[in-house]
Amino acid sequence: MVTSKVDEGSVFSFHIPYRNIAFNTDIPDSNDANRRKKILLAEKSEDNLQFVREILSKKYDVLEVTDDEKIINSVILDHLNLMLVDMEIAKKKELIVKIRTISANMPIIAMTSSDYYHDQRQAKENGCTDVIAKPFSTSKLEEIAKAFIV
C-alpha cells in the first residue's frame, strides 16, 4: 500500500507472508497451548518401548524412533518437547551434538540399565540433560515427563 501527501512525504507498506520453518524447535508455535506435547522415544528393547508407550501415550504423543537419521529428522520436523533415549544412543556424542545444534534447550533424558554413575557422567558430558535408571516405575516415568516438559 502507498500513501502520499504533498509536502509531507510518502509511506510505502507491504506484507510479506512468512512461515517459520527454521530448524530451531525452541521457538514455540502459536498453537502450542492446544497441542499435545511430543516425546521422542529412542529405545531398542521392545519391552521398554511398550512400557513407556503405554504410560506416556495417555497424556503425550509418543514418537518411536531408533535410527540416528530418523532421530535427527524428528528433532527437525516434529517440534518435540522431550527425548527419552537409550544409553547406547546417548553415548553417540556426535549425534547428541547434532541434536543440540538444532535444539539447544530440548531435554534429552538417557535411560540406562548398566553402571548408572558412569553412564550419568558420560551422558551429561555428551549433552544429555539427565539420566534415569532402568527399570523405572510408572510414577518415575510420569515424574520425569512432568518435570522436563514445559
Sketch out the chain's domains with CATH numbers. Answer: 36-148 (3.40.50.2300)
Mean pLDDT of 12-19: 59
pLDDT at 150 over 70: no
Q: What is the pLDDT of residue 117?
A: 86
pLDDT of 85-128, one tens digit each?
Answer: 999 999 999 999 999 999 999 999 999 988 778 888 999 999 99
pTM: 0.74
- Which residues neighbour 122 within 8 Å (Cβ) at sequence distance 6 or greater? 90, 91
At 3, the amino acid letter reads T
pLDDT at 21 over 50: no
- Which residues neighbour 115 within 8 Å (Cβ) at sequence distance 6 or greater? none
Q: Are 99 and 71 in contact (CB under 8 A)?
A: yes
- Report CA 103 to chain centroid distance, whole Å: 7
| Strand order across the 38-42 sheet | 61-64, 38-42, 82-86, 108-112, 130-133
pLDDT of 28-77, one tens digit each?
Answer: 555 556 688 999 999 888 888 899 999 999 999 999 998 899 999 999 99
